A and B are shown apart, each in its own frame.
Chain A
Amino acid sequence: YPLDRAARANEDTMELVQQYLENYYNLAKDTKQFVRRKDSSPVVQKIQEMQKFLGLEVTGKLDSDTLEVIRKPRCGIPDVGFFS
């Protein structure tokens, strides 16, 4: 585990984003894929998909606007994909 506060916060953010994409944008539930390969094309594609859906600037990066929306309260129904 990271020892410094900034690194820990970053880790929490990554976890939040990963859960968000898994829950609402049908990202495959593969923790390693995201934490280790956050610049991989599937993850970037999912971030872009999320940004496009939510009306954000589509950058594929976790900019401050994107993170702000992710932290807002919301409905628990997935935005895309099947609801099961």
Chain B
Amino acid sequence: TFPGEPKWKKTHLTYRIVNYTKDLPRDAVDSAIEKALTVWEEVTPLTFSRIYEGEADIMIIFAVREHGDFLPFDGPGKVLAHAYPPGSGFYGDAHFDDDEQWTKDTSGINLFLVAAHELGHSLGLQHSTEREALMYPVYDPRTDLTRFRLSQDDVDGIQFLYGSPPVSPNDPVVPTESVPPEPGTPAACDPALSFDAISTLRGEILFFKGRHFWRKSFRTFEPEFHLISSFWPSLPSRIDAAYEVTSKDTVFIFKGNQFWAIRGNEMQAGYPRGIHTLGLPSTVRKIDAAFSDKEKKKTYFFAEDKYWRFDEKTQSMEPGFPKQIVEDFPGVEPEVDAVFEVFGFYCFFSGSSQFEFDPNAKKVTHVLKSNSWLNC
């Protein structure tokens, strides 16, 4: 660690790619940075989301020579990059020397390897004396990118600062390496399984849990199992809520007081936005669950034991809310983890239980296990 052991006091951090090198296509730079962040995300409770304007915790720039921080770069070779330990202002920022030849492979200087190293500094790690460590100060072009993994020294260092990723019996995997789990993981049928959020997406249903999601299509029997980051690299993990507005072909994803918009596998520009821009009161710090009724064009937001209703036509929160969940959805638990609409029913999820609610009859018609959708 750096002297004084500086570290972030929060676990959800923002980053911004301020500019790009001309050596690589933009999506290759985006991908390298996202992959580099994932390296650290997978061994800590830390999560990252990208912003496109304003001040992020980690500002990423490409620059040559003097670039405003009194630590000028030195042309090709020698110094490749530098980064600052956690803190406000320029602290946490990562700078890359654009006089280097940045590449996706190791024919030049591999951006992913250097970014993963520099972001280690951004999170509070100093250099390691272990040659195998990512945090060793000297660039090693012989690294096998296909088998890249953190050394135990890197993991020990970062977990000294932030601890291990949260583990619960419901977690589908305990990711210690960048290896996605096989589809059909047995944890899907854990009787205690709960979900973070559920949303429809173009006729499929996505069940979010931790860093992963199950993708359930009505065309196939077996649900698929994926890392969230493999579809949407800049989305945070352990999200709070998600819902689809089919008329906009957009899924909105909520975590804390922010929300993102995705269309297919594309992140939409201009996000994340604050949840209070939707008209929720400032006392609401996070959303537990949300869904949008296609027919009525109303979106329901659930937080603790209350809910609000948003009119998609007028794009405003309806008056007369919040209301108590138990009053208008009798039979449903007073607090919900996730909810989505299917075949005209509202499916509420609370812990390992699922409540199928008929909005016309205004009653719960079935109580099932949460993971019944995963063929369990």
Chain A residues packing against B (C-beta within 8 Å): 24, 52-55, 69, 72-77, 79, 82-83
Contacts and interface: CB of A to CB of B under 8 A. Distances in A.
A1 B79 CA distance: 27
B129 A76 contact: no
Given A75-B137, A76-B79, A76-B82, 5 more contacts: A54-B129, A73-B109, A74-B138, A75-B79, A75-B82
A48 to B, nearest CB: 14
B80 A75 contact: yes
Nearest to B72: A76
B369 to A, nearest CB: 50
Contact of A74 (B2, B73, B121, B139): B139
B77 interface: yes
Contacts of B100: 73
13 contacts: A54-B138, A73-B77, A73-B80, A73-B100, A73-B139, A74-B78, A74-B79, A75-B121, A75-B127, A76-B80, A76-B81, A77-B82, A79-B137
Nearest to B135: A75
A72 B127 contact: no
B179 to A, nearest CB: 27
Interface string B60-75: 0000000000010100
Nearest to A81: B3
B131 interface: yes
B127 A77 contact: yes
B353 interface: no
Q: Chain B's interface: helix, strand, loop or mixed, by majority? A: loop
Q: Chain A's interface: helix, strand, loop or mixed, by majority? A: loop
Interface-central residue, B121, B127, B139, by most chain A CB under 10 Å: B127
Contacts of B121: 75, 77
A55 B71 contact: no
Contacts of A54: 129, 137-138
A83 B127 contact: no
B168 to A, nearest CB: 36
Contacts of B293: none
Interface of B: 2-3, 71, 73, 77-85, 100, 109, 114, 117-118, 121, 126-127, 129-131, 137-139
B3 A73 contact: no
Contacts of B78: 73-74
B306 to A, nearest CB: 48
6 interchain residue pairs of minimum CB distance: A76-B82, A76-B79, A73-B139, A74-B138, A75-B137, A79-B127
B129 A83 contact: no
A75 B81 contact: yes
Contact of B138 (A52, A69, A82, A83): A69
B301 to A, nearest CB: 44
A77 B131 contact: no
Contact of A72 (B2, B71, B117, B138): B138
Contacts of B73: 76
A75 B118 contact: yes
B60 to A, nearest CB: 15
B129 A74 contact: no
B58 to A, nearest CB: 15
A72 B139 CA distance: 7
Contacts of B114: 75
A73 B103 CA distance: 15
B129 to A, nearest CB: 5
A73 B109 CA distance: 9
A5 to B, nearest CB: 21
A7 B77 CA distance: 23
A78 to B, nearest CB: 8
Contacts of A55: 129-131
Nearest to B84: A83
A69 B136 CA distance: 12
A74 B80 contact: yes
A52 B126 CA distance: 16
A71 to B, nearest CB: 8
Interface-central residue, A24, A52, A74, A75, by most chain B CB under 10 Å: A75
